[in-house]
Structure 1
């Protein structure tokens, strides 16, 4: 039995999978916002899952951010109280057994490559576009983390092929300007629309306005699609994956799947691009499933 823990910004979920990938048990708790309590909550959730199923399992954990290979400490997590802490080791002590940990976008990529939308593909780049932007790369069924553990952090490079009116771009929380995350996240769409309309709407409301024919919302979405397409074309030019798997709130915008390929073709350094862009088959469950899959079946 494989147990996955999806450590999200607002909730923590633990789930057990059988050898065929079927859910045996799922439990959730709010993210407590405190390090010591988070350790206790994760241990308690795993205990609840194992009690419900009646046996113990391997434990994999997906978190925002990653472990520094140099220090062994967490970094780059938007649950900032994890940063600078030996999260995996502290969990292992509390659990009394080994645990495996990976970035949440990497977990999504692994989940979709094993038995989801990317099953059978040699290479897949998973894209999380929600409040922020994350990414994960799987090749031949294996997560590619890189020598510094930051493969897939495409959200923190500058938006490629910036126009004069885009440069230098908004300041990002990471300290740089013009990061992809500031422009192609759901938050980026909201900011672009607010700049045009003079008032703020959430992403769902903007898309609804597009469907009603609102010209300002339509322009904001046009800008967003062009920016996201440029960002994905950069990944094509570096990694050239067989397909992209989209997750996060913006992955529900159906127009993206229709319109992004044409933008990518304009910027891909190739005479053709016929890769695929698909929605995550497992949706919000991809993270916890991928965390469980950090251990082989």
Structure 2
């Protein structure tokens, strides 16, 4: 069986055809999104990419999975919470299904990340019997996706896994979502950089802050802030869902200390004497979105 997936991103649209048995990538293409040209143009770009894949492969999809930068509201069918603002409030699912003329399954990029790592990433390599997997995105923002028995859990409001907009600490300040002190405002990369700047008046990227912590007291303070609140935030996932595996994606997830000192911080906050949840680095990198879309 051939699995077709499209990753609809802010700057690029990527498409893939996978062999479901071997998990081999048969065909893969990407084109620019060109979102500045408007919503109808983006829909046409998706159709253009599907046509390219058809012409290249000689195959035609019976159905297709599409990953988006936001979530579809179950009651209205409109896309929401999307940083590609031209997609917000649009019936993306219905319009793409009409344009492509085949059934379309859609999920947000964090869910696609979690599904890809569950099906063909770090989970089968390290925890092949895992039933519950939570995928974490920690980068410019904080998001998440939940997979149970190989299926994405979207939820009644279409926000399953959105741990980044739970309250963590008031010092995070206002969040774009309208609340204050969200997980995202405390441990997302730009907010850690902002915290460092507020303490010392210097602008420094997160990688440099982490690297300089042995010689820079404010960098050490910022690092300790990350470790402390990362442990608290991850512990809420474990306390509520108790997943077999948590996969940490995104740029902040590349910090090695999250899997050592960060894990110890998690252990201090969970409602148990030990932590049996495996916290893993992802295997698929930026390919996870399009692979997860195919597995929809």
Q: TM-score, normalised by structure 2?
A: 0.92
Partner of 1:247: 249
Mapped partners of 2:226, 2:9: distance in 1: 25
1:138: which partner in 2?
147
The residue that corresponds to 1:224 in the other structure is 226
Match of 1:197 among 197, 200, 208: 200
Match of 2:56 in 1: 52
1:166-177 matches, within 5 Å, as 167=170, 169-177=172-180
Matches for 1:117-128 after TM superposition, within 5 Å: 117-119=122-124, 120=128, 121-128=130-137
- 1:3·1:60 contact (CA, 8 Å) conserved in 2? yes
Tell me the CA shift for residue 36 of structure 1.
0.9
* 1:40 partnered with 2:44: yes
In 2, Cα distance between equivalents of 1:71 and 1:153: 19
**Residue of structure 2 in register with 1:206 after alignment:** 209
Q: 1:9-158, aligned counterparts within 5 Å?
A: 9-19=10-20, 20-33=22-35, 34-57=38-61, 58-119=63-124, 120=128, 121-158=130-167
Cα deviation code 1:125-177 (max 9, x no counterpart): 10011111110011111111112211101111111xx4xxxx26311111111
Aligned equivalents of 2:273, 2:207: Cα separation in 1? 36
- The reply on whether 1:178 has 2:181 as its aligned counterpart is yes
1:203 to partner: Cα distance: 2.2
Q: CA RMSD in A?
A: 1.5
Aligned to 2:266: 264
Alpha-carbon offset, residue 266 of structure 1: 1.0
TM-score of the aligned structures, taking structure 1 as reference length: 0.92
Number of positions where the alignment pairs a residue of Structure 1 with one of Structure 2: 287
Aligned mates of 2:90, 2:210 — CA distance in 1: 40
State the 1:8 CA deviation: 1.8
Structure 1: stretches of 5+ with no match in the other structure:
none
Shift of 1:30: 2.5
* Partner secondary structure for residue 272 of structure 1: coil
Aligned residue for 1:97, secondary structure, equals: coil
Deviations 1:159-210 (A, max 9, x none): 1xx4xxxx26311111111111111111122112212231222223323334
Q: Distance in 1 between matches of 2:15 and 2:101?
A: 17
Q: Which shifted more, 271-280 or 150-159? A: 271-280
Q: What is the alpha-carbon distance in structure 2 between the residues aligned to residue 28 and residue 136 of structure 1?
A: 24
- What's the secondary structure of 2:10's corresponding residue? coil
SS at structure 1 position matched to 2:252: helix
Does structure 1 conserve the Cα–Cα contact (< 8 Å) formed by 2:171 and 2:186?
A: no
The DSSP-based 3-state class of the residue aligned with 1:118 is helix
| Pairing 1:234–2:215 present | no
The answer to whether the 8 Å contact 1:127/1:246 transfers is yes
